[in-house]
A and B are shown apart, each in its own frame.
Chain A
Amino acid sequence: GAVVSQHPSWVICKSGTSVKIECRSLDFQATTMFWYRQFPKQSLMLMATSNEGSKATYEQGVEKDKFLINHASLTLSTLTVTSAHPEDSSFYICSAEGLAGDGVETQYFGPGTRLLVL
């Protein structure tokens, strides 16, 4: 149980194009999903909190117009990197918050999406 998928697993695009990454909770509903960015050999940096049916909350320093987040259903959140540039190349990981068997809200992570912008 508590499986989160991401699609695509990796993507290469040209500078200036937009890329959409999907995050799905496969066997549970998630009111809240989170988007992280991870640089090589570094920890996860929270980009934004995505709540179903409302606007995402972005962390300080994250451009909301560049990283568009849509949480249209209880099982799907999308991150669109608009007008991507080489500096946007990174590993993007999502998590979905679900109620575990012990009654504790727990974040379950997707496998990540590696983005390379040429």
Chain B
Amino acid sequence: AQSVTQPDIHITVSEGASLELRCNYSYGATPYLFWYVQSPGQGLQLLLKYFSGDTLVQGIKGFEAEFKRSQSSFNLRKPSVHWSDAAEYFCAVGNIYNQGGKLIFGQGTELSVKP
């Protein structure tokens, strides 16, 4: 079955500390992987994506993610968190050539940032 798991429902980090949000996936075809961020009452903003090539991808706002095929993971990282990073983060997997590009989303991880 195709699925995305974000094991951490809620994470709290101190401002300036490093961050890692976990994402594991199960997907039958070549996975295209995405991280989106959602602020309260807003839509989703694309942070970064992986579809091929270098397994370490850089995104906006200082985020990066590493694709590890052997672990079926695509964890999101940031070396120093800012208070404005507090939001809900969603990992998603999909492939335009499979199922018409539909994305499968994880349950989301809510990030809180302590001053």
Contact = CB atoms under 8 A, between A and B. Distances in A.
Which label, helix, strand, loop or mixed, suits the secondary structure of the B interface?
strand
Given A42-B107, A107-B101, A111-B42, 7 more contacts: A57-B100, A97-B96, A105-B96, A106-B49, A107-B103, A109-B46, A112-B43
Interface stretch (A11-19, A43-51, A66-74): A43-51
Contacts of B108: 42-43
A6 to B, nearest CB: 8
B34 to A, nearest CB: 8
Interface string B15-50: 000000000000000001010100001111110010
A93 B105 CA distance: 14
Interface of A: 4, 6, 32, 34, 41-44, 46, 49, 57, 91, 93, 95, 97, 102, 104-112, 114
A32 B100 contact: yes
A56 B94 CA distance: 19
B30 to A, nearest CB: 12
